[in-house]
Amino acid sequence: MTAVAASVAEGGGCRHLAIIMDGNGRWAQAKRLPRIAGHREGVQAVRRVVEAAPTLGLDVLTLYAFSSENWKRPADEVSDLMGLLRHYVQHELDTLHRNGVRLDFIGDWQALKPDLVQLLATARDKTRSNSGLRLVMALNYGGQGEIVRAARALAADVAAGTLAPDGITTDMLEARLDTAGLPPPDAVLRTSGELRLSNFLLWQTAYAEFLVTETLWPDFDGAALAAALDEFSRRERRFGGR
Ligand code: FPP
């Protein structure tokens, strides 16, 4: 069964929500604060949402924390974001673990600084057997790059003679994505009103519902999450049928 077919069979509520956490800069600007203040407050929103997610029925929460295009930002902002990520994992890991959260990462996160990679790998390994919320952080992530990596893995099998080009299926490509084993997102939520996917989960969002809120990410909380999921519950999903 493909991941989409499994979702159809499952029916019902939002199990997997993916969030584009946007608006940290505008939040800071409106308060005449430096951008880092917006990102710092954004981490508090991450904490609130991770706490609320399981109580609202979510099994998987994927957060777009750093895109492969975010390297284009000024070096000090990139360094601030990496510092916040390091701080979040160092300070929240015990709480996450105690709450049964399983932490995982998608994207080319292994290309980050070696000490950060080590910290992330340790956090992932420590929480691997947890059966609560699956918290997936997209780090150095880009949907096009992810599909290219999956295509390369298939091409390697073809070159090795273990796979025929005509034998390539949707399931095979899906199994080589970073998200292999995860259900596709039922919905993608973007904060701060922009209407763009920004290279996030391009393959996986084929049938995802798009939710947009004007709320800036640093102001986002459990109530805002509940409101978004309530909107989702009123959508009629047809997956190409009628
Ligand atoms: C977009 O705001 C947000 C980001 C580029 C990064 C998201 C990062 C965080 C929420 C903090 C770090 C996260 C963790 C998990 C430690 P923007 O700067 O593009 O806002 P703007 O569009 O208003 O300028």
- Token pair 């295009």 is found at 69
4 lines ligand 1 (CB under 6 A): no
Token digits of residue 28: 């800071």
pTM of the prediction? 0.94
218 lines ligand 1 (CB under 6 A): no
Ligand 1 pocket test target in 20, 21, 140 with most atoms within 8 Å of CB: 21
Q: Give phi and psi for 208, each to the nearest 5.
A: -75, 145
69 HSE (CA, 13 A, CB side): 9
What pLDDT, in 10s, does the model give residues 51-73?
Answer: 999 999 999 999 999 999 999 99
C-beta of residue 217 within 8 angstroms of C-beta of residue 27: yes
CA of 36 to the centre of ligand 1 (A): 9
CA of 100 to the centre of ligand 1 (A): 26
The minimum-distance atom of ligand 1 relative to the CA of 23 is: 23
Q: pLDDT-derived band of residue 242, with 50, 70 and 90 as boundaries?
A: confident
CA of 79 to the centre of ligand 1 (A): 13
User: What whole-number percentage of the chain has pLDDT above 70?
Assistant: 95
- Give residue 1's pLDDT: 46
Selecting among 22, 59, 80, 104, the annotated active-site residue is 22
- Cα angle at 57 between 172 and 198, to 5 degrees? 55
CATH number of the domain at 3-142+190-213, out of 3.40.1180.10, 3.90.76.10, 3.30.1340.30, 3.10.129.10? 3.40.1180.10
- Of 133, 181, 179, the closest CA to residue 15 belongs to 133
**Atom 7, ligand 1: residue with shortest CA distance:** 65
Domain ranges of the chain: 3-142+190-213
C-alpha dihedral (84, 182, 58, 26), degrees to nearest 10: 40
CA of 29 to the centre of ligand 1 (A): 13
To the query of whether residue 99 is one of the catalytic residues in this protein, the response is no
DSSP label of 180:
T
- Of 153, 148, 196, the closest CA to residue 172 belongs to 153
Q: Which helix (H) or strand (E) holds 134?
A: strand 134-141
C-alpha dihedral (163, 169, 174, 175), degrees to nearest 10: -40
Cα–Cα distance measured from residue 154 to residue 138, given in angstroms and rounded to the nearest whole number: 23
Q: pLDDT-derived band of residue 107, with 50, 70 and 90 as boundaries?
A: very high
